[in-house]
Structure 1
Amino acid sequence: VKAKTFDEAAFGKKIAKLGLPADLKMIGQATSNEFLDFAWSALWWEIVLEGKRPDPSGKWSTLASKADKEAAARKLEEMRKQHEPALEAAKKSLEANIAKMDAEFAFQDRAVELRGSRKLNKFEVHLVNTWVGLPEDAVVTKMGNPMLNEAGKQRFLKYTKVFDNTAQVVNLASGATWEEGNYSECNVEFVTTPDQKGEWRVADARVWVRENAMGSGAAWCYGFLKTPG
């Protein structure tokens, strides 16, 4: 650097030692027009075209008159007014989409908070992935009327499937009693909570079974693995 200017000659000598061409040009950040001017002046202007830059339109080397500038400004203003309604509509659509996304993220965060650190069983994994975020009405439409409880800002929609063919057996000689048969029970509970618009949506799904030694509650859970629609 010489007096705060770039010393191209010294730079060329240094990079030549690295096997690079000594006339390599260095440029900083620039606009496309500046790159174009640089290319003509550094690469073509004197070396190839002997200082005669091609000007097929006749406008590159001619300064615009005041009338030309005013006409160009009027044209730009007309274009702005012409496209303003479409731009405004696009802006409103974008803002609405952003607001919708923010609301969805907020609801999903709430759903994660409700589930906490609970480890999901395989049925819960399926139901959470399928139903979380959907409206409460979609659950009722697909699953039927639930046993409904509400506490605070949460609703609990419970569905149960039971198979029971158990019977009490009595030994008349000894008086001893015991149970025989199959008892299997599967319970599914959808937890819903209101979103920012007040619409109740699924935030969690809980599944548990009850069974005796002969039963298999999990076998009855597969009937709950339904998808919306």
Structure 2
Amino acid sequence: MAPSTQSGAAAFTTTHWSVVLAAQGPSPAAEEALEKLCRTYWRPIYGFVRRQGVQTEEAKDLTQGFFALLLERRDLETVRKEKGRLRSYLLTSLKHFLTNEHNRAMTIKRGEGQRLIPLEDLRDRERVGFEPAESLPADQIYERRWALSVVDQVLARLGEEYRAAGNIKLFDRLQKSLTDEPDRATPADTAHEFGMTESAVRQASYRLRQRYRQVLREEIAHTVMAAGDIDDELRHLVAVLRA
């Protein structure tokens, strides 16, 4: 699998969030970009809402409605105050809506029957611990769900790349080494399973880590307005995951 040849600067100019914010008015490109961001990062929003003591069904409506409203009205002044960072913008906007009873009621109404966010798999996720832990403050739940959503996007992209190259089984085995999972296979076990040498397995693992870092940087770039903010957001994501 050859690494992407697209430069960081070139990749940044076409990020989803920059497309949204650069649009002076409604445009198909901006709407498509914002909708994709909403569908990708709804989990931290839902987690924050649930931590406020909101019941599951109401939280679903609020989450759907919040993003539906976001698609209709983009408050660029708020974005500027949050330095053009999607993570901060969404949390600030959400807090505003949840503390305004009129907007809250309208948001619930907007959320009824909406299918913008893929909440249909929520029940299964709740059974495996998706619901936020009661011991964590809402802001921490939001930040952690945010970081995990970014990582999920990275792994999904890498999985598709390996699938296209016919190496999805190898990816499934090697990806555990990215997060140092305790049940990850040893290089010797992987080499035996795939008919490779241990040296080849280590090289494949190294290439995956390199590509992981590259794609992670690209995904972070999708959520900030200025290229200079990417490193700060990366450091923040790592700190959240290590906390």
Q: Calculate the TM-score normalised by the size of structure 2.
A: 0.21
| Rg (Cα) greater in structure | 1
Structure with greater strand share of residues: 1
Structure with greater helix share of residues: 2
Q: Calculate the TM-score normalised by the size of structure 1.
A: 0.22
Larger relative contact order (CA 8 Å, sep ≥ 6): 2
